[in-house]
Structure 1
């Protein structure tokens, strides 16, 4: 009985390319909100953080690539794998800049304090390894 239920359920839900599309849209759209916030409020605070760490402040403008350009590329499915790599690298750098003090911390509800950052990072890696699928501007195997 359970095998039959599983077989029927799998038959109706086995759509890996739609899953890739949903993954791309979810992570791309959610990251775009962060990019739009950077357009609205600037990257001066990121530049200051970089300079505190001994890095040149102009690197902060790279956030526009990581939070606007790469999410758009991921959403449309063009250069998806390299865009997803840059996307994941962007969130890794952001976490190293502002979140490392939370590495061993939990929130008031018991969640890991870096849960969102981990989700974005691993989502980017999943997209990089899976590729765009057939619902994309450029189809990749």
Structure 2
């Protein structure tokens, strides 16, 4: 009885392409909010951090590629795997810039201080390994 119920549930929920779409929407959609904030609010804060570390401030505009362009491509399912890798790299850079000191810390509510960085990093890697799936704007597999 229990086994047949579990088999029925498993069969009903076996929608890999829909799961890939949900993952793309979550990872790309939530990261896009971060990117839009920087797009409309400016990247001066990031530029200042880079200059303080001895790097040229203009490379702060690269965050717009990682947090606006890559998420839009992920959401649409266009160049999904490369875009997801760009997002994962962006999260590594974010960790190096602002998260290293918080790697072993908890925030004021007990959550891991860098959990959003890790979420986006792991989510982006999952998208890179899984690909866009059937529900993508790009229909040619080369562009997915």
Settle same-fold status: TM greater than 0.5: yes
SS in 1 for 2:62: helix
**Unaligned segments of structure 2, at least 5 residues:** none
Corresponding position: 1:118 with 2:118: yes
Distance 2:107 2:60 in 1: 28
Q: Deviations over 1:50-106 (max 9, x none)?
A: 111121111100011011111110011010000000011111111210111111111
Distance 1:29 1:67 in 2: 10
Distance 1:12 1:55 in 2: 53
SS in 2 for 1:98: helix
- Number of equivalences: 141
**Unaligned segments of structure 1, at least 5 residues:** none
Q: Please state how far the C-alpha of 1:108 moved relative to its aligned partner.
A: 3.3
Q: Please state how far the C-alpha of 1:129 moved relative to its aligned partner.
A: 0.4
Report the CA distance shift for 1:108/1:44 in structure 2 as closer, same or farther (over 3 A): closer
Distance 2:3 2:110 in 1: 36
Distance 2:73 2:109 in 1: 35
Matching residue of 1:93: 93
**Matches of residues 11-30 of structure 1 in structure 2 within 5 Å?**
11-30=11-30
